[in-house]
Amino acid sequence: MTAPTADLLNELLTRARDAAQAASVLLLSPPADLAIETKATPTDAVTVMDKRSESLLVSHLLDGRESDGVLGEEGSNRPGTSGFRWVIDPIDGTVNYLYGLPGWSVCVGLEYEGEPIVGVVSAPTYGVTYYAARGLGAFRETSGASEPISPSHVADLPMALTATGFGYASTQRAFQAEILRTLLPEIRDIRRAGSAAVDICWVADGKVDAVYEKGLNPWDYLAASVIAREAGAVVAGLDGRGPNADLTIAANPVLFAKFHDRLKQLGAGKPV
Ligand code: IPD
Ligand code: CA
């Protein structure tokens, strides 16, 4: 199959932005009872709004594009036949959402033949939507106005403001805490805002210098990875691999190699 043209990319990006916007509007009016259930651990929550947001996204994205695939955190999983697959997180940062804290986001990513090509991360409580399509640049939209974004120029670890997050399983959290115990004295400071997708967009927008996290899934990083790469940041796993569950790293291009090498030295990508 031939790669999508710029016109098609723009059309798919608009579809992704519209879907993320509709889901954000839905999520801003939660019901009194969020009907909380738990998943892998008692702290890994899913609410009725995660499920409603996912079904809204799927019906919006596949309307007239029934042969596309879709992968969503709350269970959507079909391969499709068109070569395109939507990768969605209906709420990234569910714990923030549950507690009424700002910073959760809606993530809509799109792959073509396995390559990420479109990304939208909408964080309505911050009043911002980040979006990008491959080759078309990365943008921050606030109050209806879009501006191109770019990462910071901080080149050294001691000056690097670094975002991270933690998994839900306590063995994984203990491992992550050990890595952070060594890293924290070597960097400027740490931010744990609660949405991995927003963390990666902050690298794209120069609001943090780097991010790393173990245990992320494609719905957490795929949309944001398109935005960060289009902005000029580097998003990868260890040793030239793509971002993955062992370790996802994003940083500005002058910091990335040093940050990657230190994380590797610390064993941050080891299986737990
Ligand atoms: C979580 C958030 C959080 C990160 C966790 C993710 P969820 O996603 O991105 O920041 O630290 O690893 O699981 O569960 O809220 O969609
Ligand atoms: Ca989620």
Q: How many Å lie between the centroid of ligand 1 and the Cα of residue 121?
A: 14
Report if residue 67 sits inside a domain.
Answer: yes
pLDDT tens for each residue of 112-159: 999 999 999 999 999 999 999 999 999 999 999 999 999 999 999 999
Boundary of a domain, candidates 148, 170, 192? 148
DSSP 18-44: HHHHHHHHHHTS--S----EE-SSTT-
Looking at all shown ligands, the one closest to residue 197's CA atom is 1
Q: Per residue in 216-260, pLDDT tens?
A: 999 999 999 999 999 999 999 999 999 999 999 999 999 999 999
pLDDT in tens, 111-120: 999 999 999 9
Same domain (yes/no): 24, 121: yes
Q: Is residue 272 part of a domain?
A: no
- Asked if residue 260 and residue 161 are part of one domain, the reply reads yes
Q: Which domain holds residue 17?
A: 6-148
Q: Does one domain contain both 187 and 244? A: yes
Going by the DSSP 8-state scheme, the letter that residue 82 receives in this structure is: S
Both 136 and 171 in a single domain?
A: no
> Which of 216, 244, 272 for a ligand 1 pocket mutation test, highest count of atoms within 8 Å of Cβ?
216
Q: Are residue 83 and residue 104 in the same domain, yes or no? A: yes
Establish if 177 belongs to a structural domain: yes
Same domain for 64 and 123: yes
End residue of a domain, out of 148, 179, 207: 148
Same domain, 45 and 177: no
Closest Cα partner for 206 from 119, 109, 130?
Answer: 130
**CATH number reported for the structural domain that contains residue 136 in this entry:** 3.30.540.10
The mean pLDDT of 69-93, rounded to a whole number, is 97
152 to 207, 234, 266: CA distances (angstroms):
8, 12, 24
State the closest ligand 1 atom to the C-alpha of 50, by its place in the atom list counted from 1: 16
Domain assignment present for residue 53? The answer is yes
For the chain, the domain total comes to 2
> Both 16 and 130 in a single domain?
yes
Please name the residues in contact with 229: beta carbons below 8 A apart, sequence gap of 6 or more: 132, 235
Kindly report, residue by residue over 11-35, the tens digit of the pLDDT. 999 999 999 999 999 999 999 999 9
What pLDDT is stored for residue 255 in this prediction?
Answer: 98
Of 148, 181, 213, the domain-final residue: 148
Which residues fall inside 5 Å of ion ligand 2, going by CB? Answer: 73, 89, 91
Distance from C-alpha of 27 to C-alpha of 222, rounded to nearest angstrom = 21
If one residue of 46, 92, 121, 199 were mutated to test the ligand 1 pocket, choosing by the most ligand atoms within 8 A of its CB, it would be 92
pLDDT in tens, 175-184: 999 999 999 9
User: Do residues 114 and 239 share a domain?
Assistant: no
Q: pLDDT at residue 1 above 70?
A: no
The answer as to whether 216 is a domain residue is: yes
Is residue 176 domain-shared with residue 103, that is, in the same domain? no
Contacts of 23 (CB under 8 A, 6+ apart): 53, 56, 57, 90, 106, 122
Among protein residues, the one with the nearest Cα to ligand 1's atom 15 is 93
Lookup: tokens for 27: 């999520």
Query: How far is the C-alpha of 236 from the C-alpha of 157, rounded, in Å?
Result: 18
